Homo-oligomer: A and B are copies of this chain.
Amino acid sequence: MTTMDILIKAKAAAPTLAQTDTEQKNRALYAMAESLEAETEAILQANILDMEAAHDTISPVMMDRLALSAERIRAMADGIRQVAALPDPVGRIRRRVERPNGIIIEQVGVAMGVIAIIYESRPNVTSDAAALAIKAGSACVLRGGKEAFRSANAIVTAMQAGLEAADLPAELVQLVQDTTRVSAQELMTAVGFVDLLIPRGGAGLIRAVTENAKVPCIQTGTGICHVYVDKDADQSKALQIIENAKTSRPSVCNAEEVCLVHRDIAAEFLPKLKTRLVDDRIEDGKTPVELRLDPSAALLIDGTPAGPHDFDTEFLDHILAVAVVDSAEEAMGHIAMHSTGHSDAIVTENEETAERFTKVVDSAAVYVNCSTRFTDGGEFGLGCEMGISTQKLHARGPMGLEELTCYKYIIRGNGQVR
Which residues of chain A have a CB within 8 Å of any CB of chain B?
Answer: 15, 18-19, 97, 99, 103, 105, 110, 112-113, 191, 195-196, 210-211, 214, 216, 218, 234, 236-237, 240-241, 243-245, 248, 336, 354, 358-360, 362-371, 373-375, 379-381, 391-394, 396-397, 406-418
A408 touching B370, Cβ below 8 Å: no
Additional pairs, 18, CB under 8 Å, beyond known A105-B380, A369-B415: A15-B360, A97-B380, A105-B381, A110-B362, A195-B392, A196-B393, A237-B414, A248-B418, A364-B409, A365-B409, A365-B410, A370-B411, A370-B412, A370-B415, A380-B409, A393-B393, A393-B406, A396-B409
Q: Which of A237, A243, A409, A410 has the most CB of B within 10 A?
A: A409
Q: Which residues of B contact A358 (CB under 8 A)?
A: 410
Q: Which residues of B contact A237 (CB under 8 A)?
A: 414-415
A210 touching B216, Cβ below 8 Å: no
Q: Which residues of B contact A374 (CB under 8 A)?
A: 103, 411, 416, 418
State the CA gap A301–B410 with chains docked (Å): 32
* Copies of the polypeptide in the assembly: 2
State the CA gap A408–B245 with chains docked (Å): 20
Q: Which residues of B contact A366 (CB under 8 A)?
A: 408-411
A371 touching B418, Cβ below 8 Å: yes
Secondary structure of the A contact surface, majority rule: mixed
Shortest beta-carbon distance from A357 to chain B in Å: 10
A103 touching B370, Cβ below 8 Å: yes
Shortest beta-carbon distance from A174 to chain B in Å: 21
- Known A112-B392, A214-B210; contact A397-B409, beta-carbon cutoff 8 A: yes
B417 touching A240, Cβ below 8 Å: yes
